[in-house]
Structure 1
Amino acid sequence: MIKMKTLAGLLLVMGAIVSFGRAGWIAVKAELAQILIKQAWAETLESGKNVKPWQWADTWPVGRLVHPNSNTDLYVLEGAQGNSLAFGPGRHANSGELGSATSVIGGHKDTHFAFLADVNIDDALQLQTRNGLWHPYKVAAKRIVDIEESALQLTLNEQKLYLVTCYPFHTIAQENSLRLVVELKPS
């Protein structure tokens, strides 16, 4: 009986080690991805060309977004599909070029766009575009939209920036149609 308890305990400890090892590996990959994305952005600024952060990537950095109040510094990736959003916020492919037209950037509420929970009207954000220029923006509005009931209601043909994430924050709901839309205007 004692041997059975010892064996069961040993199996539980081994299972915990394997689980923590996998979680640690995911964290290491996430940190490495940010380093590679930062390097790709530096090469993009230098060359003016799209530079993938790793050879098989299906995205590349197209901008850098800074919110000084929350000490947030993010690289914006091309595309807002799930495989891009795993590594950072993504520019919706159907929106305008960053810094020059109406642009939409999406991100996950529990990772890169978690800072949006505490963003206030008139907060300053800076957007760096691939030409190296910094574009100052101010938060003009924050609203919650149920995408099953209406569209996001974005103003097109103006130099605006929209940051979009799921809402509410701090929930684990899988099926959620609410979105937080943060509208920014050039300042």
Structure 2
Amino acid sequence: MFKPKVLISLLLIAAATVGFSNAAWITLKAELAQVLIKKAWSETLQSGAEVKPWQWADTWPVGRIMHPDSNTDLYILEGAQGNALAFGPGRHINAGELGSETSVIGGHKDTHFAFLKKVNIGDALQLQTRDGVWHPYRISAKRVVDTHKQALNVQLNQKRLYLVTCYPFHTIAQDNHLRLVVELKPS
């Protein structure tokens, strides 16, 4: 028969093992998803069709952005709902076509859009669209918007790109209504 201290120690070790295993599984799935998204993007560039990264996915890559100053290279997924944002930044479906109209891309501040914390006005960013063309942009503005008090102020009918994430960085809040809006203009 185990002594209570030994039993508690074994239970704690078992719980820690399960916790670390779950974290490792989530990390492994996230890395595999990026490989599959990259492959789907390559197929999209070759065929021009919407290619899902896995059979049951409800999103697909619609673009790619690169920010050389931060060594960031991201695939943009269709839709900015939670299930797409878990795997990458997402294009708001009510926004315009990437590269030709005003487009809005959302992403999580603690994963894919963490690089936005350090971007500066004047920084270059490249956007690749489904036709394989790279579109150069420059950051023209950064602002924090309280969505309870005002709209994001997206300029329609102009060729603009907006990157939007929650703000401030490195905080956890369930009812966060602050957004960092990074506006880019073609360069």
TM-score strictly above 0.5:
yes
* 2:108 is aligned with 1:108: yes
Aligned residue type for 2:164: V
Question: Residues of 1 paired with 2:45 and 2:162: CA distance?
Answer: 23
Partner of residue 89, structure 2: 89
Aligned residue type for 2:62: V
Instruction: Give the number of equivalent residue pairs.
Output: 187
Partner of residue 17, structure 2: 17
Stretches of 4+ aligned residues off by more than 4 angstroms:
none
Partner of residue 160, structure 1: 160
Aligned residue type for 1:140: S
Question: Residues of 1 paired with 2:57 and 2:90: CA distance?
Answer: 14
Partner of residue 55, structure 2: 55
* 2:35 is aligned with 1:35: yes
- Give the CA deviation at 1:2: 7.0
Question: Residues of 2 paired with 1:142 and 1:160: CA distance?
Answer: 13
Q: Secondary structure at the match of 2:115?
A: helix
Partner of residue 136, structure 1: 136
Q: Secondary structure at the match of 1:15?
A: helix
- Give the CA deviation at 1:54: 0.3
Aligned residue type for 1:131: D
The percentage of aligned residue pairs carrying the same residue is 73
Q: Aligned-residue CA RMSD in angstroms?
A: 1.0
Deviations 1:11-33 (A, max 9, x none): 11111001100010000000000
Partner of residue 123, structure 2: 123
TM superposition score normalised by structure 2: 0.98
Question: Residues of 1 paired with 2:178 and 2:60: CA distance?
Answer: 28
Question: Residues of 1 paired with 2:60 and 2:10: CA distance?
Answer: 45
> Can you give the 5+ residue segments of structure 1 that lack an aligned partner in the other structure?
none
Q: Secondary structure at the match of 2:112?
A: coil
Question: Residues of 2 paired with 1:151 and 1:11: CA distance?
Answer: 51
> Can you give the 5+ residue segments of structure 2 that lack an aligned partner in the other structure?
none
Partner of residue 181, structure 2: 181
Q: Secondary structure at the match of 1:39?
A: helix
- Give the CA deviation at 1:174: 1.3
